[in-house]
Amino acid sequence: MTTSGSAPWGSRYRLVAAEKWKAKSAAMGSSVTQALVDYARPATGMRVLDLATGTGEPGISLARSVGSTGHVTASDLSPELLEVATERARSKGLNNFSTQQADAHHLPFPDHSFDLSTCRFGVMFFQDAMQALSELRRVLKPGARACFVVWGPFEQPYWQAVIKPALDHSGGPLLEPGGADPFRYAKAGSLPGLLRAAGFHDVDESPQTVPWVWPGETGELFEYACAVAAPFRQMLDRIPEEQWPQIRAEAIAAIEKYQTGGEIRFTVDVIFVSGKA
């Protein structure tokens, strides 16, 4: 889910992870994806824009919901990730799904083009959120909903297990000041306030706790978390090499507390936010 001005998010990390862990990553995120689809309430025949789609979700799931008379346009700044999304949609036989490389701050669509928009864990990384939200409102039809899901706080079990052990050894902050911040809208009212300022109305904010289940082993999850942790890259890079065995051991011990059989069963706190254009 690369976006303009978010170089630290780094599509190369996402692409590596998408290729190596695509099935397990999709499984882990499936509950959040479905919860966002349910929250968005797509209807047959809708034209939907999925912003910062990355490798294609929730756009692919939405394409199933809007049927053959509807259409989903999945946009992202990274053409490499969009290639993955295109192939995933093709493998599922979806003919009502297309991709468009696009900067969220300057969308290449006419005014009032879409009946619905979604964005899954992307809006936190927009460099100028007001500009991007204003652009989104422009391309939505009057009364169309924009629906987002963002991370709740860092202080929750998943992040504390997979990232905090590294942070404890890093000797510095989790995130660089002014850099990419996955938790930018964790505070209640923060994203709704921006939506209202950008001209959206009937704004809603709905915190939820949803399953976040990795269908594999603890070591795999730790490796995956480090691979996709581009917002934390500067923190990770300042850790001396000799400390990594200890960090890995601490992280795996923390992750093992959530292991059940062949799965690692976290829940995550996320926030759903919507507004009408």
Q: Over the stretch 14-24, which tens digit does the pLDDT of each residue have?
A: 555 556 777 88
CA dihedral of 207, 211, 216, 218, whole degrees rounded to 10? 50
What CA–CA distances, in Å, run from 16 to 1, 32, 85?
Answer: 13, 22, 14
Give CATH for domain 7-276: 3.40.50.150
pLDDT tens digits, 192-212:
999 999 999 999 999 999 999
pLDDT tens digits, 170-200:
999 999 888 889 999 999 999 999 999 999 9
| 3 state DSSP class of 260 | strand
Tokens read off for 249: 């051991």
pLDDT tens digits, 76-93:
998 988 998 999 999 999
Query: Residue 23: CB partners within 8 Å, gap ≥ 6?
Result: none
- Residues 72, 50 contacting (CB under 8 angstroms): yes
- Residue 78, classified by CB atoms within 10 Å of its CB into exposed (0-12), middle (13-18) or buried (19+), is buried
What average pLDDT does the chain have? 92
User: What is the Cα–Cα distance from 208 to 267, expressed in whole angstroms?
Assistant: 10
Q: Is the per-residue pLDDT at 235 higher than 90?
A: yes
- Residues 163, 153 contacting (CB under 8 angstroms): no
Domain locations in the chain as residue ranges: 7-276
DSSP 120-164: ES-GGG-SSHHHHHHHHHHHEEEEEEEEEEEE--S-SHHHHHHTH
- Residues of the chain with pLDDT > 70, as a percent, come to 93
Cα 254 → chain centroid: 24
The owner of tokens 């397990």 is 24
The owner of tokens 């706080």 is 153
